[in-house]
Each structure stands twice: as structure tokens, then as C-alpha cells.
Structure 1
Amino acid sequence: MHRTLPFQHLVLHALVVVIVMIAEAIGILKIPIGFGAVILLPILYAFAMGIAINPAIFKATGKLLKAPGTKLAGTMITIAIMPFIAKFGTTVGPKIAEVAAAGPALILQELGNLGTIFIAFPLAVFVFGMGREAIGASYSIDREPNLAVIADKYGLNSPEGAGAMGVYATGTLIGTFVFALLPPLIHSLGLFDVRALAMSCGVGSGSMLAACTGGLVGVVPDQKEAILALAAASNILTYATGLYAAVFLALPLTEWLYKTSRPGTASGDLVKGAAK
């Protein structure tokens, strides 16, 4: 039986089309700031407009975007990003020699996932006084695979799940802006090879990957193919080796740090059971 889309879903799709058309009409903007330039991409404008019409922020849009529509938007993120990831995957093959030349650097960069623990965990526990939410919030940058790990081990209704979801939402909202601005600025300092910066784009987030590579290509257009290939390979490795690093290194380490800094706290299994 043929089913028509609910009105809320039609409204959502219409708003998305309008946002995309406006963002593409603005195009890429380069803002010089002394020693470098900030590259503003259409995806940034789209994110900004999406935030602006969020019913939780701008109450007036709540008359158009109700719960069914916003729920669909969250589900569509993963689906919509799949063709984008597939496209980046096809850039690895033609540049496989340059990817292979990066060798150990491309693999060892996954140890950088542990950096979130040593920077974010002390702030979460000792500065902001977070409880077990600090485990989910600081053991990774909490993209989709990391959320799956937390959901499986603790459940998303647990304190760990709340911490992971909080970082995921924050990263979705402002992570793209940060990843669009930092790479061109860091490149202008001349401290890192553009290949290293390209690898840093692959943190496991499609929107961050697009913003990061777009910014780098904007300042080094002659190395576009190499940047895209290395960033894509890095992103793929993040989903593969990065997931194992999270399961066997990052999460156990964060658990141990929390139990050490907060002795006598309940174990993850007890918290998960209580949440249920």
C-alpha cells in the first residue's frame, strides 16, 4: 500500500532544501587574518542555519518542526552521510602509493584518541565535578562507533551514555566550525606538513572531515588529491583500528582513572543495571 509522507516530514525536507540552496548561494568565503586565512564553507552556513531554526533554540519554529520531524532529522544524519563517506573511500585507491608512504604515521595517529582522556578527563572530574558521565564524555570524541560502544556496555540511559550523547551533540553542533577554522590557521604557521594535517581530518566524523579537508584544499589547492586520499584513509582507519583502540585501551583506561580518582563509586555494570 502506498503511503504518503507525514506533513512534518515534508516540512523538514523543504527546510533542508532551502538551507542547502542558501548555503550554496553564499559559496566559499576566505577571510584573511594576518598570517593566514579562515575558510568558511557552505556546510558551516548550513549548520548555523540548522541551529538557528532548532525549536529548542528558536521557539517560533516549534510550530513547524515538531517531535516527529526532529526525530527524523537525527535518524537521517547517518543515512545522508553514507554516500559522502563512500565517495571519500574511492579517493584512496588512486593515491594508494602516497597513503602507503605515510605508513606507520597513519596507523600510530590512532593513539591520538587517548589525548581526549588526558585533556578532557581531569577537566570533567576535577573542574566541572562530573560523575560517571565523565567516562562517556572523555574517553573519545564520541562519534557514531563510540556511541555504539557506550550503548552496548552501559546503555544510553546510563550516566556514561548521557556523557557520550552530550559530547556527540556538542561535536555535531560546533565541531564542524572548529575543524573548518583550525587546519588553515595551523598550516599558515608552517609547523606541520600538509599531509599530517590531512590525516588529522579523519577523526570519524563525516561533517568534520568535509569541513577540515575543504579548509585545507582551500589553502593548498595543488595538493587536493593527496589531501582527500590521506584524510579518507585516516577516517577509514579511525572507524576500524580506532574502534579497537577505544574498546581495549581508551575505555578501560578511563574507567581505571575514574575509579582511582573517585574510589568507592559503583561499577559500570551496577550503574547500567540501575539505569534500567
Structure 2
Amino acid sequence: MMHLIKDWRLHVFVLAIVIITEAIGTVQIPIGPGVIMLLPMLFAIIFGLLVYFSPLVTEKQSKHAEPIITLSVTLLIAKIGVTIGPGLADLIAAGPALLLQEIGNFGTIFIALPIAVLLLNMKREAIGMTHSVGREPNLGLIYDKYGFESPEGKGVTTVYIFGTVFGAMFYGLMAGFLASFTPIHPLSLAMAAGVGSGSMMAAAVGSLVALYPELEPQIVAFAGASNLLTYSTGLFVSIFIALPMTEKLYVLFRKWKGGEEKKNEKSA
């Protein structure tokens, strides 16, 4: 921890990236009923990659940057919690629908895992990639259980980066199209937006608010509460249900693919 605190070059780079990306702000590109939102987080990743592949950053500094992801989640949850307060009565009225929304996240297992293993012939990277939507708490879970350099760790890292770059765009467009062309209530879509990603949730909320400005307080409250519940309950669901289920299904699909998993493919 002291090495992380004393690494002033790392903090200077991070501060410079934050200042630049916040100055750029959010760029909105309307497409039909949806909207593509290019958030500062996306620009931060692009600038971070450019700096990482330059001589300015060493491998030691990149290792020091890893724990910051976990620390940043705390601030994000606190911010979302403040948003929920004014709409607490509406959230209570939603009843079990809000609590059961976590079941929807199992789609990553039952849809993505068979495609990854049976069609794309992926190995244990598929476990990290498909056990969840791969946001910050899931990064910590996979890194702690399998290790950062493990196949599972590389899989969840890939999904995290891909989701940050393209997830907000997909959610912004999908929320707009579903709200415009289906009978699904906008508050239901707002609850569905809370998958545990601040950027994805913000993109979906932006599209929904653009279509239903009169429901903006309720949309923000439902999406924020759903996102917070995913953060608070999603990690436990991943630990006790989703990850063990993904492990078992992975072994089953590997057998269907043509033989049992080799020992050297398993993580330590």
C-alpha cells in the first residue's frame, strides 16, 4: 500500500487523464429512438491504453493501478445511493420485481457459455467471460479465486474492457429501441438497466429519459436502485450460484465437445 501511495508518477498520470476526460464530458449521438453516449470513462480507457503502451508507464506502475478499481467502486455505490433516496416510496411499491431482477443476469451463463465453449471452442477463459456481465465486483471475485494471470482472469478482464467500450453504446441503443417499439413499461426497462455498470446504466437512462422526460425521477431512481442491488447482491449470487453453476456447465459442455478437460487446462 505504501508503494502505491508513493508512486507519484502514477497519480500524476491518472489526474491528468481525469482532467482531460472530464473536460471532454459526455458526447451524445442520437440514432433513431436510441442514443449512443460516449462517457468520460470511455475516453479515460482510450487515453489510459495510449499511456500504457508508451514508455511513460512501467509495468510496476500498471500493477500499482490494479487495486484502484476496487476502491473506486465504493465511491460509485455511494453516489448511486444518494440518488435512490427521493424515490424510495416507488421502489418499495415495486416489491419483489426489483429484488428478482438479479435472475436476469443468468442469461450470460445459459446463452453466452454454450456459444463460447461449443461454437467458439474456448477453454477456461469462458468461465471468467460468461459467469456475469464482468463488472468491478466480478473482477475482484475472479482475481481472488483464480488469479489475475489465470485464463479465467484474462477472460473477465477482456469482458470488462469490451463492456466499457461497447456496453454503453449497446445499452443506449437497446433501451431506446425497446421503449419505442415494444409495450414494455419504461420503469421495467429502467430496472433492467441496473446490471452493475454505471456507464451502461447511464446510457440506458439517457435514452429512456429522452423518450419519457416526465418520468425522469422514477427512471433514475429505479435504475439506480437496481444497479445498487446488483452491486450488493450480485457478488453473493456470483459466489454461491453463478460461478459454481458456470464451472459445472463448462465441464459438461467440454465433455459434449469431445472429451473431458485436460488437467493442464485447469487452474491451480
TM-score scaled by structure 2? Answer: 0.82
2:166 maps to which residue?
Answer: 174
- The answer to whether structure 1 residue 219 and structure 2 residue 215 are counterparts is no
Q: State the one-letter code of the partner of 1:15.
A: I
| Alignment root-mean-square deviation, CA | 3.0
Aligned pairs, number: 260
What residue ranges of structure 2 are gaps of 5+ in the alignment?
none
Please list the CA deviations of residues 38-64 of structure 1 after superposition, one character each: whole Å capped at 9, or x if unmatched.
2535x1x6514742662289x6xx255
TM-superposed deviation, 1:77: 4.5
Q: Equivalences for 1:110-259 in 2 at 5 Å?
A: 110-259=102-251
2: CA distance, partners of 1:262 / 1:237: 33
Q: Equivalences for 1:13-162 in 2 at 5 Å?
A: 13-23=15-25, 29=28, 31-33=30-32, 36-40=33-37, 43=39, 47-48=42-43, 50-51=45-46, 54-55=49-50, 62-64=54-56, 67=59, 75-80=67-72, 82-162=74-154
Any conservation in 2 of the 1:88–1:232 contact (CA below 8 Å)?
A: yes
2: CA distance, partners of 1:176 / 1:152: 27
TM-superposed deviation, 1:198: 0.7
TM-superposed deviation, 1:66: 5.3
Q: Helix, strand or coil for the counterpart of 1:233?
A: helix
2: CA distance, partners of 1:173 / 1:91: 25
Please list the CA deviations of residues 84-126 of structure 1 after superposition, one character each: whole Å capped at 9, or x if unmatched.
4312212222212211121121122111121001111111112
2: CA distance, partners of 1:249 / 1:215: 32
TM-score scaled by structure 1? Answer: 0.80
* Fraction of identical pairs, as percent: 41
2: CA distance, partners of 1:81 / 1:190: 33
Instruction: Give the ranges of 4+ consecutive aligned residues of structure 1 lying more than 6 Å apart after TM superposition.
Output: none
